[in-house]
Amino acid sequence: MHGSTHFALLGLFGLMACGGPSGDAPLDGALGADADMRDQESDQGRSDAADMRLAPLEGGELRPGGETTVDVAGEGAFVQRASNLALTRRNAFAAGLELFRLRWVPAPGRADVDGLGPVFNAERCIDCHGANGRGSRDTILVRIGSASGEPDPVYGHQIQPFGTNGVSGEGSPQFDEELRTVAGSSLFYPLYRIEALAFGPLSSDARLSPRVAQQLVGLGLLETIDEASLRQRHDPDDDDGDGITGRLAELDGAIGRFGWKAAQPTVEAQTASAFLGDMGLTSPLFPNENCTSPQVACSLAPDGGAPEVSATRLAQTASYLRLLGVPARRNGDAADVRRGKAVFMDIGCERCHRATYETGVADEPELSAQRIWPYTDLLLHDMGEGLADGLAEGDASGSEWRTPPLWSLALVREVNGTLRLLHDGRAENWDEAIRWHDGEGSEAREAYTALSEEESDALHAFLESL
C-alpha cells in the first residue's frame, strides 16, 4: 500500500467513524437519552480521575536541564543557549552555531566552506535538524549493511542520494505502507526500498534501516552522566528478573550514548560521524572519504583538504550542541499531569525511561553537577521484531535500540510542525509509539492497553508536559 493510498484510507475510516447519512432521523427522545448517558459518563469520568493517584512533584523536576533550563517554548524552543552560559563563553557558542548553519559546497571552492561530498545526504546540518529539531520522512536517511553490521561492498554504510562534480548519487530511498494489527490497533508499517541504484543491486543480505534525525537539546548533559550511574541498570542477563535486559553499548573501551543504536560515545564523535555520513566531510575522527572501491569517480573527486572539518571547527560545533538549553516543563504541576506521571511509573515505563540523574564533572562547566530529568537510561534494549531493522551497529543487534530521551519531545510538534515518533517516524502520536513497543517493552505496552480512558488521557498529558 503506497503512502497516497494511506491518506485515502484515512478519509474512509473517518467517514465510517462519524457515520454516513441515515434514512431515518433520530427521535428527540433518543437524543435526550443519549445526552443523559453522556452526562452520566462525564460525571463518572470526573469521579474516576479524582480517584487516581497523584504522583509527588519532586524538587527541580520542572527544570529538567537543571541550571541550563530555558523558558522558551514554540518554534524557537531548541535553539536557545543554556541559561547559565557565561557571558565570556557566548562567542564560542555563536561560532558553533554558524558552523551548524553553514552551507558546504563541493571542492574546489572557497577554502573555508568546500569539501561537500563527493556523495552526500545534505548540505547543512540544519537540513536534517530544522531549528535543531526532529527530522521528517522528507529528510530520512537509510543505513544499510548485513545482519552482522558489515557495510554493503558497493554502497557502504549509508545510502547517499546526491553527488558532486559529476559523481552519481547512489540511489533514492522510497517507502510504501501496509496496515498491520499491533497491540489491538491497525497501524501503518513502513516498507522501504531504494530506487535508481547507480551501481547495481544491493548485496543479497542487505538490510535497510531508515532513521529520522533526533532533536538536539540536552546532549551535553547526557554525555556528562558518569558511567557508574548508567551501570546501575546494566542488566544483560536480567539478574533482577524484571524482564528488562538493558545493557550498555560497549565500544572499544568507551560506552555508547548517542545515535539510535548508541554507536557513538561522545557528542564530538557523533558530530564527526554525521559530518562524514551525511555530508561527506572528513575530520580528524573520520579522515577517509565515504567512497567504496567500486565507486571510482567518487574516489577520484577533488576534496576540500585533509581534513575538511578541522579539529577546531569540529570542537566548536560539538561545544555548541552540548550547550543548547533544555526547555522547561509545561503544566508539570497540573493534577492530570501528576496523575499521568503516576501511571507512567505504575505501568513500568520508568524501568527504561529513567527519570533523573546527577551529572558529573564536565569540560563545559555549565553542565557540571546538574540534577537533570531526561527520561532515558541510555541503554540498549531488545524491542522485538516489530521494531527490528535487522542491522547490527556498534554493539547493538538488529533488534536493539537505545532508549531515546523523552525530555522536550512533545515540543517537536511546535518546532517542526509535526510529531513523528520512533526511529523511522512511523508513529504519529504517543498511542501508536507505545503500541509498537515489544520485546522488553511488551509488559509496559500490555499494561498500557489495559488502562482506562482516564488513565490513558492522564498518561498522554504527562508525556505532553515533558
In this prediction, residue 21 has a pLDDT band, given cuts at 50, 70 and 90, of very low
Per-residue model confidence (pLDDT) at position 25: 37
The angle that helices 335-346 and 453-465 make with each other, rounded to 10 degrees, is 100
Q: Which residues pair with 254 in a beta bridge?
A: 251
Contact 319, 92 (CB under 8 A): yes
User: In terms of Cα–Cα distance, which of 251, 334, 297 is closest to 49?
Assistant: 334
Q: What are the cell numbers at 447?
A: 499494561
In this prediction, residue 296 has a pLDDT band, given cuts at 50, 70 and 90, of very high
> Poorest-confidence range of 45-54, 163-172, 436-445?
45-54
Q: What are the cell numbers at 53?
A: 493517584
Angstrom distance (rounded) from CA 132 to CA 78: 6
Per-residue model confidence (pLDDT) at position 5: 35
In this prediction, residue 138 has a pLDDT band, given cuts at 50, 70 and 90, of confident
Contact 229, 241 (CB under 8 A): no
| 450: DSSP letter | T
Cα 27 to chain centroid, rounded: 51
Q: What percent of the chain has pLDDT over 70?
A: 89
Judged on CB neighbours under 10 Å (0-12, 13-18, 19+), 377 is buried
Give the chain's count of helices (H) and strands (E): 13, 12
Has residue 217 got a pLDDT over 90?
A: yes
Angstrom distance (rounded) from CA 180 to CA 193: 18
Which are the contacts of 76, defined by CB distance < 8 A and separation ≥ 6?
Answer: 131, 415
Has residue 29 got a pLDDT over 90?
A: no
- For range 420-430, the mean pLDDT: 96
- For range 155-176, the mean pLDDT: 96
Contact 151, 145 (CB under 8 A): yes
Angstrom distance (rounded) from CA 132 to CA 116: 21
Cα 117 to chain centroid, rounded: 25
Taking every pair of Cα atoms in the chain, the longest distance, rounded to a whole number of angstroms, is 81
Per-residue model confidence (pLDDT) at position 48: 61
Task: Report the sign of the C-alpha dihedral through residues 27, 32, 36, 42, in that order.
Answer: positive
Contact 415, 79 (CB under 8 A): no
Per-residue model confidence (pLDDT) at position 136: 85
Q: How far apart are the first and last CA of the chain?
A: 35
How far apart, in Å, are the Cα atoms of 199 and each of 165, 180, 292, 297?
Answer: 17, 33, 11, 12
Q: What are the cell numbers at 147?
A: 545482519
Q: What percent of the chain has pLDDT over 90?
A: 87
Has residue 15 got a pLDDT over 80?
A: no
Cα 453 to chain centroid, rounded: 27
What CA dihedral angle connects 98, 103, 109 and 113, to 10 degrees? Answer: 30
In this prediction, residue 30 has a pLDDT band, given cuts at 50, 70 and 90, of very low
In this prediction, residue 23 has a pLDDT band, given cuts at 50, 70 and 90, of very low
Angstrom distance (rounded) from CA 298 to CA 308: 16
Per-residue model confidence (pLDDT) at position 26: 37
Q: What angle do CA 225, 227, 230 make, to 5 degrees?
A: 80
pLDDT in tens, 52-99: 999 999 999 999 999 999 999 999 999 999 999 999 999 999 999 999
In this prediction, residue 14 has a pLDDT band, given cuts at 50, 70 and 90, of very low
Angstrom distance (rounded) from CA 427 to CA 50: 31
Per-residue model confidence (pLDDT) at position 51: 77
* Other CB atoms within 10 A of residue 394 CB: 19
In this prediction, residue 50 has a pLDDT band, given cuts at 50, 70 and 90, of low
What letter represents residue 108's amino acid? P
In this prediction, residue 49 has a pLDDT band, given cuts at 50, 70 and 90, of low
Angstrom distance (rounded) from CA 321 to CA 220: 7
Give the chain's mean pLDDT: 91
Angstrom distance (rounded) from CA 35 to CA 58: 41
- For range 295-324, the mean pLDDT: 97
pLDDT in tens, 329-359: 999 999 999 999 999 999 999 999 999 999 9
User: How many Cα atoms sit within 13 Å of 41 on the Cβ side?
Assistant: 9
